[in-house]
Amino acid sequence: MNSGKKRLLVTGASGFIGSHLLSVLSKTDEWTEIHALSRMPAMNFPTQRGVIWHQADLLADDTPTELITEFKPSHVVHAAWITDHGAFWEHQINSAWLVASLKLAQAFMQSDGERFITLGSVAEYDWTQGRMIEGHTPETPSTLYGQAKLAFNHALTEHNKRGHFSSATCRIFYTYGPFENPKRLVPLACRSLITEHSEAFGSGSLWRDYIHVSDLVRGIASVLLSDLEGAVNIGSGAPVRISFLLDQLEKLSDKPGFLKRGQRPDLGNEVMMIFADVSRLGKLGWRPIVSFEEGLNHSLQWWRKRLMGCPELNQERQVLKI
């Protein structure tokens, strides 16, 4: 695209991360158009400045090529993939998502696109290393999900090497915040505390790198508008013990000891500590600005309103403003 105008395509725009990212990107003056893609009916989504919604299924054979041919985006953020809680790790549909993603990148190259960002995962690394460092930590994923994500990262790297377009893979760690899947740890604990309904939790002995979705999408936006290529970790860089996370939610709810640990057995193959080295992202001037306590309280209050049926929560997705 030689006009200098930037046209953005965001896949998975109605998902947990994609929707928050879209909220941030639509407030900038970088884009003449933002095309937001979802498998859900476009009529269900809010009107945002410069955003054009489309309903389409990327897993349909010709859809990736047709979308790129029609919109001719200069930039792509590929956030669509299987995210079904628990099932995504080994689901065979990961292979179909890899094929669809390869088609999307190929069509992007043929349309003379400029920059392609995909959402990768901590699952692309060898988890036994603890601290994950781009270009240093071995990339030996143990799940089909991680293998498919890594294969797509390798394909984008080849496009980079051949000068087809610039690309980066944002490797995402443990994200929490509004609109997260209710079966995941933070929403499950929040809902348990609010409803006073007992849920089964493990021992809480593991350490993980949790980042609020507001900080995450700022990081993705920074990578998108930069010239960084290859894998870029996006996490807090500071692991927390899961038992401490539960303690903080109990404290914020004034219900000490409510969330019972050890009622669900820990998996025997769990790695004790996983966290991100965020030095590459930090060179762009990014840093997390949402404190852990503040982020957990934001999630807790959001779920409280959600469970009370506040209608405005279903109409727009706001990121936490600091």
Q: What's the rounded Cα separation, in Å, for the pair 22 and 12?
A: 10
Within this chain, do residues 308 and 255 fall inside the same structural domain, yes or no? yes
Q: Where in the sequence is the domain holding 247, given as residue range(s)? A: 176-209+238-273+290-314
* CB crowding 31-50: b at 16 or more within 10 Å, else e: beebbbbbeeeeeebeebeb
pLDDT at position 311 is 53
Residue type, 107: A
Inside any domain, residue 282: no
Mean pLDDT by 10 residues, the chain (322 residues): 76 95 93 93 72 94 96 98 93 98 98 98 95 97 97 98 97 97 96 94 95 98 97 97 97 95 76 96 97 97 90 46 36
125 φ/ψ angles, rounded to the nearest 5 degrees: -95, 170
Alpha-helix runs per DSSP H in 199-271: 213-224, 242-253
Q: What's the rounded Cα separation, in Å, for the pair 212 and 210?
A: 7
How do residues 4-45 score in pLDDT, each as one tens digit? 679 999 999 999 999 999 999 999 889 999 999 999 876 667
Residue with tokens 């980066």: 168
Residue in 77, 311, 37, 303 with CA at minimum distance from that of residue 172: 77
Q: What's the rounded Cα separation, in Å, for the pair 6 and 75?
A: 7
Q: What's the rounded Cα separation, in Å, for the pair 215 and 192?
A: 25
Residue in 109, 114, 88, 121 with CA at minimum distance from that of residue 31: 114
Within this chain, do residues 246 and 230 fall inside the same structural domain, yes or no? no
Within this chain, do residues 258 and 110 fall inside the same structural domain, yes or no? no
Domain CATH code at residue 167: 3.40.50.720
Inside any domain, residue 70: yes
Q: What's the rounded Cα separation, in Å, for the pair 119 and 81?
A: 9
Burial class for 228, CB neighbours closer than 10 Å (0-12, 13-18, 19+): buried
Long-range contacts of 188-192 (CB under 8 A, 24+ apart): 189/245, 189/246, 189/249, 189/259, 190/249, 190/299, 190/300, 190/303, 190/304, 191/303, 191/307, 192/258, 192/259
Inside any domain, residue 122: yes
Residues in the chain: 322
Taking the model in full, what pTM does it have? 0.93
Within this chain, do residues 53 and 109 fall inside the same structural domain, yes or no? yes
β-pair partners for 170: 119, 232
Inside any domain, residue 76: yes
Q: Which two tokens stand for residue 214?
A: 């507001």
Inside any domain, residue 202: yes
Inside any domain, residue 165: yes
Q: Which two tokens stand for residue 95?
A: 């292979």
CB 75 within 8 A of CB 113: yes
pLDDT at position 172 is 98
Q: Please report the beta strands in 84-165, taking only residues with DSSP state E, as ranges in sequence order.
A: 115-121, 131-132
How confident is the prediction for the chain on average, in pLDDT?
92
CB 302 within 8 A of CB 178: yes
Residue type, 294: E
Within this chain, do residues 198 and 261 fall inside the same structural domain, yes or no? yes
Within this chain, do residues 205 and 140 fall inside the same structural domain, yes or no? no
Residue in 211, 255, 264, 249 with CA at minimum distance from that of residue 233: 211
Within this chain, do residues 140 and 230 fall inside the same structural domain, yes or no? yes
Within this chain, do residues 137 and 258 fall inside the same structural domain, yes or no? no
Within this chain, do residues 304 and 222 fall inside the same structural domain, yes or no? no
Within this chain, do residues 150 and 186 fall inside the same structural domain, yes or no? no
Domain CATH code at residue 300: 3.90.25.10
Within this chain, do residues 13 and 110 fall inside the same structural domain, yes or no? yes
Inside any domain, residue 221: yes
Within this chain, do residues 31 and 112 fall inside the same structural domain, yes or no? yes
Number of domains in the chain: 2
DSSP 142: S
Inside any domain, residue 281: no
3-state helix, strand, coil in the chain (%, to 5): 40, 15, 45
